[in-house]
Each structure stands twice: as C-alpha cells, then as structure tokens.
Amino acid sequence: MKRPSFVVYGVLAAFVLGSAFPFYWSYLVASRDNSVLTGDFTLIPGGNFFANAARVFDTIPFWKALGNSFIVSGTVTLSVVLLSALAGFAFAKLRFRGRGVLFLFVVATLAVPTQLGIIPLYMAMAEFGWAGELEAVIVPNLVTAFGVFWMRQYLVDAVPDELVEAARMDGCSLWRVFWHVALPAARPAAAMLGVFTFMQSWNDFLWPLVVLNADNPTLQVALEKLQSGYYVDYSLVLAGTTLATVPVLVVFLVLGRQIVAGVMQGAVKG
C-alpha cells in the first residue's frame, strides 16, 4: 500500500495539535498566573509552575487522592469490562429463557438519568455503612448497563455461532468458551470500553463529593478545594489539573499502544 500524501499528514497534524492544545494551555496558565486568562494572551510558558505545584501539594492530600483515584477507577474499569463481557457474551450468543426480556431491561436502565439517584443512593450507602469509604464510590459502578449493551452488540458479530456450538458439542464448558474464545475476540471492544469507563470514573465528581470524606478523597474531589477563596486562582487550579492529568497521560502513553492495538487487532478479518 502506498504512503499517503502530505495533505493527509497535514490534516491529521492539525487535528492532533487541536487535541493537544488544551494540555499545553493548562500548563501555560499553571506556569504563569491568572493574567493569561484576563487579557494578556501569550503562548510562552512562565517560571511559576513548580511554585504553583508546591502550593497544590500544600493545599490538598494529592498523593493519597491520586492513589484513591487509581484504586477506584482501576477496580471499576476491570470489573465493568469483565462483567460486561461476560453478560454481553451470554446475551449475544447463548440461548436461555427470558433472554429477550432481561436484555430489554438492561437497555431500559440505560435511559434512566442518574443525577437524581444520588439521594437514594446515599441512603443505601449509609445503610450499608459505606458512607465515607471507597466502597461507596466503587460498588455502585461495578457494572454498567452501557457496558453490557456495548459488549453484546460487539460479540453478536465477533463470535460466530457455529464456533460456540462446536465448542459445546466438544464438551467445552461455556465458561471456557467465554474465556478462550469470546473474551479474546472482544478485545477491541473491551479496550474502548476500558478507556471510556476509566475516564468516566476518573472524572466523576458529584457522587464522590457527596459520599466521601475530606480526609479520604478522590482526585477530583480534592482538586475542587483548590477553588476556595473569593476568587478562583486559575493558575493554582490548572497546576492541580495538570498534575492530575500527567499520571493519566503516562498510563495512556504506556498502555496506548496496547489499547490502539487492541482496537485494531480484532478488526483484521482473517
């Protein structure tokens, strides 16, 4: 296949530049002061970043919050991907009584706006004794209807029915069919669902704010404290968000190859 022309590279470069700009811009403000935002527009970073970063570390329990966020988002992502693939596989490939009704139920729950849920959910968590604990942020998110729907849709096409039939004739347990056939085939969808779930959980603010205590926050809850005071010091806030984005970027860069490869791998029809 021949190499594409420079026009293609040009368009893509423009797109990636647009994608990367907010990261640079956050660093820019964090390395200067508020004035960048109120008229003194510039693209050259200043020398305040480390001073602002130091203030972030003084103001909030950054490392603890970072650890909590990784625990929460990591657990949630792993669980959502695995359990969604499992249920998605069953809905896509297995025949059982009530399948249609149950799946309809899953899809229906997708359509429920979640914003109202925080009041009853808080009541439930308080009842379980989890108010203030990380469990309260993790457990309600261990499964998502979206995940099940997503994996089901993907697996319908990705795993041929004959294959499941054949494996069953062979006496393979369905669990093994799932583990050795469906799960590997689901890798591309799983990768996308993983990225989606991780970021969703990472950015979640309202619920963790309500249910967690100040001394045991996730990163977003901790970062909110940088906005105290009668005016918002954006250089401090953006220093905080930059510091919080770096670990995600690193994970993204390290795993990105795998993620992108995962997305593409299944796509090459043999």
Partner 1 sequence: MRHRSWVSVLAVLVAATACSSGEATQNGKTELTIATFNEFGYEDLLKEYEAAHPDVKLTQRKTGQGAPHHQNLFTKLGAGSGLADIEAVEEGYLSQVMDKASQFNDLKEIGPNVDNRWLKWKTDAATTKDGKLIGYGTDIGPLAMCYRKDLFEKAGLPSDPEAVKSLFATWDSYFAAGDQFIAKSGGVAWFDSASQVFNAMHNQHELGYFDKSDKLVVESNPAIKADWTAVTNAVAKGQSAKLVAWSNEWNSGFKAGAFATKTCPSWMLGVIEAQAGPENKGKWAVTEAFPNGGGNWGGSYLTVPKQGKNAKKAAELAAWLTAPEQQIKAFKAKGTFPSQVQALKDSALLEQTNAYFGDIKAGALFAAQAQKVAQAQYKGPKDGQIQENVFSPALQSVEQGKSADEGWKTAVAEAQKVAK
Partner 2 sequence: MTAVLTRSDRERVVQTRSRPPRHRLSAVDAKVSPYLFVAPFFVLFGAVGLFPLLYTAYVSLFDWELGADETPFVGLDNYRELFGDGQFWNALFNTFSIFLLSSVPQVITAVVLAALLAANLRGRTAWRMGVLLPYVASLVALTIIFGNLFGPQFGLVNSVLTTVGIPPVDWQANTFGSHVAIASMVNWRWTGYNALIVLAAMLAIPREVHEAAVVDGAGPLRRFFSITLPMLKPTLIFVIVTSTIGGLQIFTEPKLYDPSAGSGGGAEHQYQTVVLYLYQSAFQQLNLGYAAAIAWLLFLVVIAVAGLNFWLTRRAVR
* C-alpha to C-alpha distance for 228 and 21, rounded to whole angstroms: 27
Token digits of residue 86: 């499992």
User: Which of residues 40, 54, 57, 110 is near partner 2 by CB under 8 A?
Assistant: 110
3 touches, from partner 1, partner 2, none (C-beta below 5 to 8 Å by class): partner 2
User: Which of residues 5, 19, 38, 115 is near partner 1 by CB under 8 A?
Assistant: 38
What distances in angstroms separate CA 131 from CA 26, 64, 207, 223, one per listed residue? Answer: 34, 18, 11, 20
- Footprint of partner 2 on residues 175-214 (CB under 8 A)? 175, 178, 181, 184-185, 187-188, 192, 195-196, 199, 203, 205
Which C-beta is closer to partner 1: that of 17 or that of 206?
A: 206
Phi, psi angles (nearest 5°) of residue 212: -95, 155
Give the per-residue contact string, 126-165, with partner 1 (x = CB under 8 A; - = no). xxxx-x----------------------------------
Listed in sequence order, the residues at least 6 apart from 94 whose beta carbon sits closer than 8 Å to its beta carbon are 164, 174
Secondary structure string (H, E, C) spanning 176-187: HHHHHHHHHHCH
Q: Is 215 in the site for partner 1 (CB under 8 A)?
A: yes
What is the maximum alpha-carbon separation in the chain? 72
- Footprint of partner 2 on residues 11-40 (CB under 8 A)? 11-12, 15-16, 18-20, 22-23, 25-26, 29, 37, 39
